[in-house]
């Protein structure tokens, strides 16, 4: 999906603009319980096109000492990632020195730059905005992020500036696997090790995001008993090329993670064996689960753990599971990209999760299991009414969604939903696959 980035000095209204453009979408996405969204990224839909929007404002502290440097960095990083750049300026203040600085850098941009003359709340200020033509860009739109005037024409221009969507072959259903995780956990090393292990042809195809390249490999490469399958490793180029700018890469690695998650079927989260699972990892896992992607955790650099005993892996796995809370259905693999230990197994398991995510449970079998589960433990009553679950059906795959038809669907409590989910997992597996259980009126 195309990425549109908002840049500009502090206080011009970047985050207000971001909120205005993303607010409707966010209401929909946040509807799922347990979703934590980073307010710097959002999706915008306008006249049938959808794009990702990022507010880079967080990169520039409002009272930074190294203010100029911070803005410069914000722009440089954006030039590397965005498809369209929104350069926000302020009609209240007119052109300022930092605006000129930003303009100078953006005039070299390959991608379209649209000047947003914000805070044009009145006709008078809309006229004042004309001075921003002086910044030297082809497109300039006066608008008000606060009251919304002018945003329609502006969004038309943004959509017109988006690059054509790369054509996705609809019949291409090769599993798409993404390696994610904090910098230096070994994502590139693992990807390269796997690419090295595939003797069959590796083709590189344009990825779904700017400058990203996906690698298509056949897996497993050897072995006579198993037919190789085509697998797409998402954004392997992004993994191979090291970030040019060191500072603030965290912000952009978060962005990349977000986009790799969107583009994959199964997300493989790497953590460093010496550091274990950290808060940020747990957040990414929850995000991936909210997007209903298949999940695998790899504890990488296993070779660095000395004096391993029989229980070392088990204890660490237990620690990780405690931190993950409810995501205890996610498989954990201990591997080393360096020595190659269990590197291939990572991909094997990711493929197994992919197949599970695609699985369809026959309705008769499903209802047997649900009936038994309800007999064993019936739903708690709701406002003095018995809650009865009449029947269930898997209404979609990839990701799997189960519908339960009940007399009082709104009366099914979260704890009971979880009970049913656990019963489904015990009967049907779905290892590494987030399940959606939806309760409907019958």
Annotated binding site for GTP: 8-15, 55-59, 118-121, 181-188, 235-239, 300-303
Q: Which of residues 120-139 bind ligand GDP (CB under 6 A)?
A: 121
Q: Which of 13, 36, 19 is nearest to 90 (CA)?
A: 13
Q: Which stretch binds ligand GDP (CB under 6 A): 27-35, 140-148, 286-294, 357-365?
A: 140-148
Q: Are strands 176-180 and 213-219 parallel, antiparallel or unpaired?
A: unpaired
The nearer residue to ligand GDP, 248 or 336, going by C-beta atoms, is 336
Task: Give 255 or 424: the residue with its C-beta nearer to ligand GDP.
Answer: 255
304 binds ligand GDP (CB under 6 A): yes
Q: Which class for 332: exposed (0-12), middle (13-18), buried (19 or more C-beta within 10 A)?
A: buried
| 216 neighbors 230 (Cβ within 8 angstroms) | yes
Residue 276, phi-psi category: left (phi > 0), alpha (psi -120 to 50), beta (remainder):
left
DSSP, res 134: G
298 strand-pairing partners: 270, 333
Quick one: which H or E segment has residue 204? Answer: strand 203-206
Cis amide prior to 109 (ω within 30 degrees): no
Whole-number minimum distance, CB 116 to ligand GDP, in Å? 10
Q: How far is CA 342 from CA 285, 308, 334, 347, 417, in A?
A: 22, 16, 7, 9, 35
Name the pairing type of β-strands 41-46 and 49-55. Answer: antiparallel
Instruction: Please report whether residue 144 would count as binding ligand GDP according to CB under 6 A.
Output: yes
Per-residue x/- mask for ligand GDP, residues 179 to 208, rule CB under 6 A?
--x-xxxxxxx-------------------
Applying CB under 6 A, among 45, 317, 338, 355 the residue interacting with ligand GDP is 338
Window 48-67: residues binding ligand GDP (CB under 6 A): 57
In angstroms, what is the minimal distance from the CB of 328 to ligand GDP? 25
To ligand GDP, the closest distance from the beta carbon of 135 in angstroms equals: 17
Strand partners, 270: 298
**Is 15 one of the binding residues for ligand GDP (CB under 6 A)?**
yes
Stretch that binds ligand GDP, among 12-20, 286-294, 379-387, 421-429 (CB under 6 A): 12-20
91/394 with CB nearer ligand GDP? 91
Our finding on whether 118 is near ligand GDP (CB under 6 A) is: yes
- When the beta carbons of 82 and 239 are compared against ligand GDP, the nearer one is 239
The two three-digit tokens of residue 71, written as one number: 């803005």
Residue 14 in the binding site for ligand GDP (CB under 6 A): yes
Contact flags string 210-249 toward ligand GDP, x per CB under 6 A: -----------------------------x----------
Strands 213-219 and 229-233, bridge-based pairing? antiparallel
Instruction: Give the residue, chosen from 300, 332, 366, 370, that forms a contact with ligand GDP under the rule CB under 6 A.
Output: 300
Question: Residue 214: beta bridge partners?
Answer: 205
- Report how far apart, in Å, the C-alpha atoms of 409 and of each of 126, 366, 387 are: 52, 18, 8
Chain residues that interact with ligand GDP, rule: CB under 6 A: 8, 10-16, 57, 118-119, 121, 144-146, 181, 183-189, 239, 300-301, 303-304, 336-338
């Amino acid at each position: 999906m195309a990425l549109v980035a908002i840049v500009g000095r502090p206080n011009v209204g970047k985050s207000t603009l971001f909120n205005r453009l993303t607010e409707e979408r966010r209401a929909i996405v946040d509807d799922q319980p347990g979703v934590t969204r980073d307010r710097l990224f959002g999706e915008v839909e306008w006249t049938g096109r959808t794009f990702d929007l990022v507010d880079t404002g967080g990169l520039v502290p409002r009272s930074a000492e190294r203010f100029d440097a911070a803005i410069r960095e914000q722009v440089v990083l954006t030039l590397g990632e965005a498809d369209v750049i929104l350069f926000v300026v302020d009609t209240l203040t007119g052109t300022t020195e930092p605006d000129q600085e930003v303009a100078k850098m953006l005039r070299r941009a390959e991608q379209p730059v649209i000047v947003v003359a914000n805070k044009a709340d009145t006709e008078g200020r809309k006229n004042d905005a004309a001075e921003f033509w002086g910044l030297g860009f082809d497109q300039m739109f006066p608008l008000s992020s606060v009251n919304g005037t002018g945003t329609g024409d502006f969004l038309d221009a943004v959509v017109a500036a988006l690059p054509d969507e790369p054509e996705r072959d609809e019949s291409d259903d090769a599993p798409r696997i993404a390696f994610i995780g904090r910098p230096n956990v070994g994502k590139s090393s693992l990807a390269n090790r796997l690419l090295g292990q595939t003797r069959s042809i590796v083709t590189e195809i344009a990825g779904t995001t700017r400058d990203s390249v996906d690698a298509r490999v056949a897996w497993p490469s050897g072995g006579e008993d198993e037919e190789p399958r085509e697998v797409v490793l998402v954004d392997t180029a992004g993994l191979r090329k090291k970030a040019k700018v060191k500072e603030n890469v965290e912000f952009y690695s978060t962005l990349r993670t977000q986009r790799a998650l969107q583009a994959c079927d199964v997300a493989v989260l790497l953590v460093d064996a010496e550091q274990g699972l950290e808060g940020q990892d747990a957040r990414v896992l929850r995000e991936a689960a909210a997007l209903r992607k298949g999940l695998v955790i790899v504890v990488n650099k296993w070779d660095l753990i000395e004096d391993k005993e029989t229980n070392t892996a088990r204890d660490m796995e237990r620690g990780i599971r405690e931190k993950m809370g409810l995501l205890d259905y996610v498989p954990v693999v201990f591997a080393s990209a360096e020595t190659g230990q269990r590197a291939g197994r990572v991909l094997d398991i990711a493929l197994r999760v992919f197949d599970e995510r695609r699985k369809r449970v026959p309705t008769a079998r499903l209802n047997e299991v649900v009936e038994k589960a309800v007999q064993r433990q019936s739903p708690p009553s709701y406002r003095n009414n018995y809650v009865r679950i009449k029947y269930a059906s898997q209404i979609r795959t990839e990701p799997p969604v189960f519908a339960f038809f009940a007399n009082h669907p709104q009366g099914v409590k979260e704890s009971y939903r979880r009970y049913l989910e656990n019963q489904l997992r015990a009967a049907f597996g779905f290892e590494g696959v987030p399940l959606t259980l939806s309760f409907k009126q019958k």
